[in-house]
């Protein structure tokens, strides 16, 4: 209510919070209704956006070692084509972003299932990534991040850390780990080997 002064302007909000989070937060309510802003709902939006970004990262991490194609590619491609159709149907109903985002959540659920398979296909990875990216682009949400530390540099540092550990040079290994942590890089052990995420 403007008379009570219990509102916040977006241009003030984005001075202190990542605009990507604000965009995603605003997509969780219908545009015709006021959005109930609280710190808790904003934190929920941040956590949910991070889940989407993690699903995207996890999937693209599997590019290395992915097969060109697999027998089950058709089923996965058809599933994601249907999910995209569902998204379009929801959004075509008076721009119902809230229901559209629900379809995005189903997409990332399926992406996570696919990422954990023993064998994956580069065809499916590209299709899933492309569809998710294009749908989120409608809300102005970007999944790729511009960071000063290049991916190639991170990979090289991880290789150097692994070599230092093999050589029992734990001081160097710890120093590299701390440097990566300072840059916001999280190292994770997976069945496919050491991986990292921002």
Euclidean distance between CA atoms 198 and 60, whole angstroms: 13
Is the separation of the CB atoms in 58 and 111 below 8 Å? yes
Supply the pLDDT for residue 149: 57
Euclidean distance between CA atoms 97 and 43, whole angstroms: 19
> pTM of the predicted model, to two decimals?
0.71
Euclidean distance between CA atoms 185 and 192, whole angstroms: 18
46 CB-near residues (< 8 Å, 6+ apart): 18, 21
Is the pLDDT score of 145 beyond 70?
Answer: no
Q: What is the mean pLDDT of the chain?
A: 87
Which has more pLDDT, 173 or 105? 105
Helix (H, G, I), strand (E, B) or coil at 1: coil
Report the share of the chain in percent with pLDDT over 90.
Answer: 44
Of the candidates 146, 127, 120, the one whose C-alpha atom is nearest the C-alpha of residue 198 is 146
Report the share of the chain in percent with pLDDT over 70.
Answer: 94
Mean pLDDT, residues 61-89: 94
Mean pLDDT, residues 133-159: 79
77-124 tens-digit pLDDT = 999 999 999 999 999 999 899 899 999 999 999 999 999 999 999 999
């Amino acid at each position: 209510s403007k008379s009570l002064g219990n509102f916040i302007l977006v241009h003030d909000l984005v001075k202190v919070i990542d605009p990507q989070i604000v965009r995603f937060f605003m997509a969780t309510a219908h545009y015709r209704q006021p959005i109930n802003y609280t710190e808790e709902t904003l934190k929920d939006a941040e956590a949910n956006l991070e889940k989407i970004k993690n699903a995207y990262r996890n999937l693209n991490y599997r590019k290395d070692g992915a097969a060109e194609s697999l027998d089950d590619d058709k089923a996965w491609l058809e599933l994601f084509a249907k999910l995209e159709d569902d998204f379009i149907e929801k959004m075509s109903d008076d721009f119902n972003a809230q229901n559209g985002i629900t379809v995005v959540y189903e997409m990332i659920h399926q992406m996570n299932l696919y990422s954990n398979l023993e064998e994956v296909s580069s065809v499916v990875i590209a299709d899933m990534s492309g569809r998710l990216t294009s749908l989120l682009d409608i809300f102005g949400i970007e999944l790729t991040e511009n960071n000063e530390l290049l991916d190639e540099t991170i990979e090289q540092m991880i290789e150097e850390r692994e070599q230092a550990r093999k050589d029992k040079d734990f001081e160097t290994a710890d120093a590299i780990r701390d440097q990566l942590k300072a840059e916001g890089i999280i190292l994770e052990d997976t069945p496919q080997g050491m991986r990292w995420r921002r």
